[in-house]
Structure 1
Amino acid sequence: MSAALDELRAALVAAFRAGLTELDPARLVERALDAEAGAHRGRVFVIAAGKAAPGMAQGALRRWGDRIAGGLVVTVAAPALAARDETTSLADPEEAALRPLRVMRAAHPIPDARSVDAAEAALAVAAALGPEDLLIALLSGGASALLAAPPPGVSLADKQAVVAELLEAGAPIQDVNLVRRHLSRIKGGRLAAAAAPARVLTLLMSDVVGGLPHDVGSGPTVPDPTRVEQALAALDRWAPRFARLAPAFSESLKPADARRLEARVLADPDKLAERVAAALADRAGLRATAAPAEDGDARAIVERRLALARTLAPGEAVVIPCEPTLALPAHRGAGGRAGWIALAALRGLPPDVALLCAASDGVDGSSGAAGAAVARAAAAAMDDRTIDAALARFDDAVVHRALGTRVETGPTGHNLTDLHIVARDFPGGARVR
């Protein structure tokens, strides 16, 4: 690969990182709570859940640390700790920084027994609140799996199986969360209902393309306009063999019953795209624009990325927040949807175009990376049959490792869905800045 394309790929990765830094969860929560100063005189409790939960909780503690009486932080267990039973597994310095909040970790994307323990702990915090209290709910992507409270008649194994089937069938996240909201004792506003008569303020880092507050973490503290019939229709479409669970579905909290509740979205996929586009313009001199968020089948998205790549002018870039769906077989290799799309598009890119596909949480499936940043020249290092076989086996991670195209950020403390950047280099690879 040419030095110019290497530089362009590096610029895309740097802009991706810069955009995430601009939307620091702690800083966003701290600013949001500035507007609440003096608005509440009673006790304050915090329940934070999701991949951004530690950062969001730190922001609340910075702003209102002297007023927060207690609460809970639930975030994702590190892979090395996935088989352990402990719920308090953050490093000691981080746990100390989050006191007086209790720290718990659970599994993602399939809930485990720790997810049930965390949900029960959250419900217990809510149930102890009184009419003068305030519950600050800090929710981000991943909260659906981290707080699992199956309704009567549904076992944890049932919940795990239905969620796994929905995800592997390629169901859109809105449909997955639609089913989750109506098959739960905590989602769909039920945590807020447990907190009555306390006031509930929900601050959200949204990971759902075009999503509303009830889509984020399956909406445990916000009203939900959807109905059981809609959830059952989604179940019938994506996981029909679980029709036996239909009697356990129940209605969620409706807007008419939500007078004590307020919700604000602090960041979403569109805001991330705007920040990354600004970083590309500032740091690389590219004429970068943020496109509307999109979702859909990964194969169709590959074709859209290639069509866009062919239309770009020199020095132009487009940033697209994206929630692809990809139906997966039972037996597959190591990879993720971002890396798979990058590999599928690799050979069709124009020679002076680079493509970044990355998960904003830094975890692209089972790949061990955030995604990949590719250019067509990278394909010269590997024969077509090897690439085709990796795509067929959903084993893109090994190819990106061999080609040196992996984007490795480690867990970012975010979850604002995937981000794609398509950029055409300047003539001759000349950098403007």
Structure 2
Amino acid sequence: MTTETPIDRRQLLRSMFDAAVASAQPALCLPLFLPAQPKGRTIVIGAGKASAAMARALEEHWSGPLEGLVVTRYGYEVPCKRINIVQAAHPVPDAAGLLATQRILDAVSDLTPDDLVIALISGGGSSLLVAPGPGLTLADKQAVNVQLLKSGASISEMNCVRRHLSSIKGGRLGAACHPARLLTLLISDVPGDAPVDIASGPTVADPSTCADALAIVDRYRIELSPAVRSMLESGQGESVKPGDLRLVGSETRMITAPQMALEAAARVARSAGLASYILSDSLEGEAREVGKTLAGIARQVALHGQPFTPPCVLLSGGETTVTVQGTGRGGRNVEFLLALAVALDGLTAIHAIAGDTDGVDGAEEIAGAVITPDTLARAWGLGINPRASLDNNDGHGFFQALGDSVVTGPTLTNVNDFRAIVIDAGPADRMP
């Protein structure tokens, strides 16, 4: 039977989360993927929450001439000497992103076959690279984005819509780089690590269609302006397709991904003497439903030693969704945790953490939170009804009141959600 206290488990959970984030730092993983220097110019472009840190890592390991521009989220700027860093809004695009995107397109507008373009792409790039399709406005893009974020659509579905309302996503930026050599370095924040879904695939071919995008917006009852619906219905928003000659010879390299982060956390668990099991690096679905499902698995482990024997750690990644019904403060990781806590109902053997590895869960500057066996009891002691908080999509309000939020500040990387559930050996009872 374990003798560790809840504070020990809190520390272990945070150590695992920190290890996952540290393993995905561009300074650690990017230098291994850099190419030989070209005969001509080297232009660096990019977008995402990790793009500025990627740019600095590239600068530090590139001895030849270098120029370019990347756009990152406000607060995620990293000083660079040769590459311009611009900040813009996430998750809803703004005018700064619009201007930065045009500057990126200008930077690759007059290249030769002797030139090299290195595209640094990470999660968050969908809102940071904003170039509305012909006839659309920034307001059109903002309105669709806001609705998608509340709809419960998966990240793959959301990015399919975004690709077909853009002048830069869905391979269009890659095509604009032709005839230069193009190398895209990716940090994955999406389940399955599909390049076309990372930042909506600005430099890679896209097999999806306007019809696919239209089906998604209709499925989730997204209200479209006449101009947006016309673009999808007419096919004017078609993206760059596989086999396009402008992308022939371009390379795409995945420099880190959620699986690598989970493996780093597993090493921390093993060093603490706990068996670790990675359930999946790509769990999707409604956050509260995923919480219920993992609570069922954790309960089976705690009470029956199946399918794993405690003490152990269950790890998972991916990206859940939240269909917003209430007026609370989100986000998907704290919604997962609150549903997990409610389903566990105070089972004494279980502690858990969930957080977004970019440091931002939903619209809050909070990465996630921690639950302990007494989470529900402490909430009731403060007069907070856990189920009511869940129904109101108010995970951040709930965990902040308990002092259980996980705040990291900008992590300068993004490999999606991280979840760890620690299950101890010994009697598993409910807290009173």
TM-score where L is the length of structure 2: 0.89
**Which residue in the other structure is 1:18 paired with?**
19
Superposition map of 1:45-194 within 5 A: 45-68=43-66, 70-78=67-75, 90=77, 94-95=78-79, 98-194=80-176
Describe the SS at the equivalent of 1:319.
Answer: strand
Describe the SS at the equivalent of 1:26.
Answer: helix
Q: How far, CA to CA, are the matches of 1:364 and 1:240 in structure 2?
A: 23
Q: How far, CA to CA, are the matches of 1:371 and 1:239 in structure 2?
A: 29
Deviation at 1:385, TM superposition (A): 5.3
In the alignment, is the contact (CA less than 8 A) between 1:137 and 1:200 conserved in 2?
yes
Q: Say which of 261, 273, 296 aligns to 1:285.
A: 273
Describe the SS at the equivalent of 2:251.
Answer: strand
Letter in 1 for 2:311: G
Q: How far, CA to CA, are the matches of 1:107 and 1:357 in structure 2?
A: 24
Deviation at 1:32, TM superposition (A): 0.7
In the alignment, is the contact (CA less than 8 A) between 1:48 and 1:56 conserved in 2?
no
In the alignment, is the contact (CA less than 8 A) between 1:162 and 1:239 conserved in 2?
no
2:332 maps to 1:337: yes
Q: How far, CA to CA, are the matches of 1:124 and 1:324 in structure 2?
A: 36
2:194 maps to 1:197: no
**Which residue in the other structure is 1:310 paired with?**
299
Task: State percent identity of aligned pairs.
Answer: 38
In the alignment, is the contact (CA less than 8 A) between 1:287 and 1:316 conserved in 2?
yes
Structure 2 gaps, min length 5: 302-308
Q: Say which of 218, 222, 227 aligns to 2:200.
A: 218
Describe the SS at the equivalent of 1:348.
Answer: helix
2:191 maps to 1:209: yes
More displaced stretch, 383-392 vs 403-412: 383-392
Cα offsets for 1:399-423 (capped at 9, x unmatched): 2123222112112111111111111
Q: How far, CA to CA, are the matches of 1:4 and 1:144 in structure 2?
A: 42
TM-score where L is the length of structure 1: 0.89
Deviation at 1:243, TM superposition (A): 6.7
More displaced stretch, 42-51 vs 19-28: 19-28
Superposition map of 1:412-423 within 5 A: 412-423=411-422
Q: How far, CA to CA, are the matches of 1:22 and 1:194 in structure 2?
A: 33
In the alignment, is the contact (CA less than 8 A) between 2:342 and 2:386 conserved in 1?
no
Describe the SS at the equivalent of 1:265.
Answer: strand
**Which residue in the other structure is 1:241 paired with?**
223
**Which residue in the other structure is 1:41 paired with?**
39
2:292 maps to 1:295: no
**Which residue in the other structure is 1:252 paired with?**
239
Give the aligned length. 407
Superposed CA RMSD:
2.0
In the alignment, is the contact (CA less than 8 A) between 2:16 and 2:266 conserved in 1?
yes
In the alignment, is the contact (CA less than 8 A) between 1:75 and 1:104 conserved in 2?
yes
Describe the SS at the equivalent of 1:183.
Answer: coil
In the alignment, is the contact (CA less than 8 A) between 2:117 and 2:183 conserved in 1?
yes
Letter in 2 for 1:357: A
In the alignment, is the contact (CA less than 8 A) between 2:70 and 2:104 conserved in 1?
no
More displaced stretch, 147-156 vs 343-352: 343-352
Letter in 2 for 1:288: S
Q: Say which of 382, 390, 404 aligns to 2:379.
A: 382
Cα offsets for 1:73-100 (capped at 9, x unmatched): 210013xxxxxxxxxx94xxx43xx122
**Which residue in the other structure is 1:320 paired with?**
316
Cα offsets for 1:316-368 (capped at 9, x unmatched): 11110031111114x62223111122122214332111111111111112443
Q: How far, CA to CA, are the matches of 2:343 and 2:133 in structure 1?
A: 48
Describe the SS at the equivalent of 2:285.
Answer: strand
Letter in 2 for 1:405: D
In the alignment, is the contact (CA less than 8 A) between 2:148 and 2:222 conserved in 1?
no
Deviation at 1:427, TM superposition (A): 4.1
In the alignment, is the contact (CA less than 8 A) between 1:316 and 1:423 conserved in 2?
yes
In the alignment, is the contact (CA less than 8 A) between 1:49 and 1:143 conserved in 2?
yes
More displaced stretch, 309-318 vs 194-203: 309-318
Deviation at 1:291, TM superposition (A): 1.8
Letter in 1 for 2:278: A
In the alignment, is the contact (CA less than 8 A) between 1:236 and 1:243 conserved in 2?
no
Of Structure 1 and Structure 2, the greater helix share is in 1
More displaced stretch, 56-65 vs 206-215: 56-65
Deviation at 1:48, TM superposition (A): 2.2
Describe the SS at the equivalent of 2:169.
Answer: coil
Letter in 1 for 2:242: P
In the alignment, is the contact (CA less than 8 A) between 1:8 and 1:425 conserved in 2?
no
- Extract structure 1 runs of 4+ deviating beyond 3 A: 426-429
Cα offsets for 1:47-81 (capped at 9, x unmatched): 1210001111112111214331x100210013xxx
More displaced stretch, 237-246 vs 217-226: 237-246
Q: How far, CA to CA, are the matches of 1:8 and 1:134 in structure 2?
A: 48
| Residues 18 and 156 of structure 1, relative CA distance in 2, 3 Å threshold | same
Describe the SS at the equivalent of 2:141.
Answer: helix
Q: Say which of 325, 335, 346 aligns to 2:341.
A: 346
Letter in 1 for 2:423: R
**Which residue in the other structure is 1:82 paired with?**
none
Describe the SS at the equivalent of 1:389.
Answer: helix
Letter in 2 for 1:251: E
In the alignment, is the contact (CA less than 8 A) between 2:384 and 2:398 conserved in 1?
no
In the alignment, is the contact (CA less than 8 A) between 2:171 and 2:202 conserved in 1?
yes
**Which residue in the other structure is 1:231 paired with?**
213
2:31 maps to 1:30: yes
